Every structure is written in C-alpha cells, then in structure tokens.
Amino acid sequence: MHKGNPKALLPIGVFLVIYLGLGILFEYGMNIPMGFYNIPIVVAFLIALLVACLQNRAVSFEKKLDIMGQGVGDKNIITMILIFMAAGIFVGVVGRSSANSVAYFLLSIIPARFAVVVLFIVSAFVSLAMGTSVGTITLITPIALSVAAASGFSLPLCVGSVVAGAMFGDNLSFISDTTIAACNGQGCAMQDKFRENFLIALPAAFASIVVILINSTSDSVATMVIPEYNLVQVIPYVLVLAGGIIGMNVFLVLIMGIVTGSVIMLLTGATVWTDLLSQMGAGASGMFETTMVAILVSALCALIRIYGGFDALLHFIKRIFRGRKGGQLGIGLLVGAMDIATANNTVAIVMANPIAKEMAEEYGISPKKTASILDIFSCVFQGVIPYGAQMLVAISAAQELGYAVTAFEIMPFLTYPLLLLVSTLVFIFFVPEKK
C-alpha cells in the first residue's frame, strides 16, 4: 500500500496555527476585545495555499494552477457559491425589519421559555426539506438574532441552536449534496441510507432538545413587551420556509423570497426603490469572505490530494484501526480529517468515497452503513469547526444585522453535532448489527 506523503498536510497545520492559534491567543490569552477578528480567515487560507504551492517542486507552477482550477471548478463548489450569493441578496432585501417581524410574531404565539427550542426545530425541518444547512442558517439566523434581542436569551445560544438544527437536515435530507455524494459513492439506495442514518440521528435530536431546554432555563428571560410589527413583512420568510418544507429547489426558494421581499418592502415603505439594488449588492457583498473561503479551500484541497496528503491519512487509519467496529470508526475519522482540511462536508465525502469503499470491503461493512457513517461524521465535524461555511455564514449574518458574536462563543451550544457523534459511537460499539 502507498504510504502517501504526510508532509503534504503541512498547509493545514500552517492554517490552524495562524487562524486558530493566533485567534485563541489574541482573544483569550491577551484579552484583546474581538481579538479573533484580527485574524482574517481569507489571509490565513492564502498563506496556507502559498505553502502548498511552494511544496513539491517536481510539479510546475502552471500545472499547480491547473490542479487548483479543477478543484475550484467542482460542481458542488460552484453550487455553494451561487447559494451564498442568492442568500446574501435575500438577507439584503428583507433586512432587519422583516426578521424582526418574524421573531416578534413567533414570540407572540409561543411561550418565551420555548423560543430557542422552536429555533432548533424550525431549522431542522427547513434544512431537511431544502437539503442545505448553509441556506437554512442564512435564512433563520436573522430570526434567532431578533429572538435573542427581544427575549433576553443568550445570543450564542440562539445562533448555536440554529446551526445545530440545520445540521440535522444536512445529514438526513434526500436532496442534500452530502446524501447524494455518500450514496452514489458507496452504491446504495438513498432510502436504505436514510433508515440507517435516522435511527442514529433521532436520539441525538431528542437529546439536543432536552439540552437546549436546560440551557434556556439558565437564562433569565425578561417579561417581553412585544414591539409593534408589520405582519405583512413576515410573508417573505413564510414563503421561503414553506418552499423549503415542501422540498422546492433552494435556488427557486431564494428567488421567490427575493422577489416577494422586494415587493413587500417597497409596498410597506420599509425601503424605497432607489435603495433596493444597493441593498441587494450589500447583501451579496456580505458573503464575500465566505465565498473566498470556499474557493481557497477547494484549491488547497486539490493540491494536497495530488501531493499524496490524503493517501498518508489512509495509510495511518488502516494501520491503527482493526476489525469491523474499528473500521467504521476509521472511516468516520477519515472523512472527519478531510472535512477539517477542506471545511466542506460534501467535498470531504467525495474525496473519502473511494478510500472508504476500499476500507468497507476490507472490513466487511455494508454500503448503507458506510454511506451513513460518511455523512454523519462529515456533518459532525462540519457542524463544529470554527472556519466551516455554516459557522461563517451564521457569524456573517449576525454582523450584517449589527450583532457581534464569535465562533468560540457559539461552539459550546452546538448540541446536535456533538450528541450525534455520541449516538453514532454508541451504535458502532454497543448496538449489535443486524445480519
């Protein structure tokens, strides 16, 4: 077996030192206010990409550009970038007033102590229907921000519950890129993978609701005075949520939200037509950093794979893990390591598929089990890494609406991904497999 090239993983280490290391030092070691924002993630990835380009002198720079171009040109990357743009425009159009109207309407009909649980459940169902956690987080985060402001619940708790709920649907949805990639790569039917996956995810979801309720009771919820709101401004969100629940294409859902939001914002006087286009542009511009991260990560990932970095990961996993249960954990850690490297769970699955299939055959693991493990572990890691698209979109949406929150403030409240990991390990090591 080819041992690969562990040195090819150096750019990942460089990025982690620059972004996470310096961010933690500034924020918590030196107590610099908003110190984490002093480390621009785009610059950190550019430095990591430069390190990758300086490696492997046997490959010309022109060839490296070709390799990076192929990585950036992947269909999943292009789709994600377009979703970023469309979602940013939607947020720019509906803005704070529409989000506030949705939040105040929900709070007027739901007891305040259950508001955060409702955010988790709504995010879970919308992402399950739409098949995209990024789109869900972009749409629901403004509501979470307004709920936090109106109810007194912790802002990181509300945002974290949205991110956690969105990962539920990302993991299980039939139209999710991760489901499609895992099932196609392992050669199993989607319904078989869903059944295998659902039995693991459901206990984690119920446990998450309990934990969120406990966290909610620790906050002192004020007696809320619901401000006046224009119920008509809720319509864009209602249409988008309904479109997601019935399974409409995410692009159609966002276009519908943009059109209806524009009309309603103009009719209610929330904006004027001369400002509408600039608001759209501002919303799209707000997704610049997230889009650049997706592009840089895909280019970096392409080089690391060519250099043999991922072959080195495979060699390490097969040397360490033995037996069927160990093989399942090895496959999970394989796709998890690739997700840490790429910050994209779909790309991580696509890269891990051929290696995981080989490991599954060697360890005697069924295709549906392998597909389920790939999807679960990729979503677990994607749901908690501080530089993933999901986290960046949530933080970006908060910043656009005037709220400041960091990844490390949100991470303690990412209940579902962590409990999904626990549930998965229980099923792997303690639940007997059906023959």
Most distant CA pair in the chain, distance: 67
Give the pLDDT of residue 420: 95
Give the residue among 296, 310, 388 at the shortest CA–CA distance from 72.
296
pTM comes to: 0.70
Which residues are CB-contacts of 25 (< 8 A; sequence separation ≥ 6)? 35
Rounded to whole angstroms, the Cα distance separating 313 from 340 reads 12
Give the pLDDT of residue 127: 81
Give the pLDDT of residue 244: 66
What is the rounded radius of gyration, in angstroms, for the C-alpha atoms of the chain? 22
Give the pLDDT of residue 152: 77
Per DSSP, the three-state class of 230 is coil
Three-state helix/strand/coil letters over 344-391: CHHHHHHHHHHHHHHHHHHHCCCHHHHHHHHHHHHHHHHHHCCCCHHH
Rounded to whole angstroms, the Cα distance separating 98 from 81 reads 24
Give the pLDDT of residue 435: 54
**Across the 435 residues of the chain, what is the mean pLDDT of every consecutive 10-residue run?**
77 82 75 66 88 90 92 79 81 71 71 84 79 82 82 87 91 79 81 87 94 77 64 79 71 86 84 84 81 83 84 76 85 86 77 80 87 94 85 82 81 92 92 65
Give the pLDDT of residue 107: 67
